[in-house]
Amino acid sequence: MKTSTTKNRRRRGLWLAAGLAALLAGCATNVNTYENADARGTPNYVADKRIITDNTLAGTFRVVALNQAPVSGNLLKIQATVENLKNNARTLNYKFEWFDQDGMAVDTPNETWKSIQLQGRETGTITTVSVNPRAVDFKLKLRE
């Protein structure tokens, strides 16, 4: 009798483990994306300089592109396209910093750390607009 009970517990444990594995595998889904093949928008790409201090982060997220455009005549809008390089959902924390024509930091109180969650292999965009017309340049900082 003891042997039969032990076998049943093992069997239930295996089923539980299999169910949990299936559930976790379902959470790590990739994202299929479809877009206009004849896109009319023409991005103004920004050439970027990358300073990598966290190789693990660089292996998890990648900045695909940086675009900029004027807004309201004298403000600058920045859009970064980022990609989750992993197969499961990850949260990326980011912050933009602004600089004037002399390379001096421009105080912008709305530029705090924010976050975006991307599913496995998903690409998303993060956007900001300068609140000060003196801001002509920016830095994008990332952390996990």
Tens digit of pLDDT for each residue in 72-125?
989 999 999 999 999 999 999 999 999 999 999 998 887 899 999 999 999 999
pLDDT of residue 73: 86
Neighbours of 5 (CB within 10 A): 9
Q: What is the dihedral of CA 105, 51, 95, 85, to 10 degrees?
A: 170
Neighbours of 122 (CB within 10 A): 19
* CATH architecture of the domain covering 55-143: Sandwich (2.60)
Encode burial over 85-118: b for 16+ CB neighbours within 10 A, e otherwise: ebeeebebebebebbeeeeeebebeebeeeebeb
pTM of the predicted model, to two decimals? 0.74
Q: 134 and 100 in contact (C-beta within 8 Å)?
A: yes
User: What are the structure tokens assigned to 61, written together?
Assistant: 């997220």
Give the mean model confidence (pLDDT) for residues 139-144.
Answer: 95
Residues with Cβ within 8 Å of 58's Cβ and at least 6 positions away in sequence, in order, are 52
Nearest to 60 by CA among 80, 83, 31: 83
Place of tokens 């530029």: 111
Domain positions in the chain are: 1-29, 55-143
pLDDT at 134 over 90: yes
pLDDT at 23 over 90: no
pLDDT of residue 6: 54
Q: Over the chain, what is the mean pLDDT? A: 85
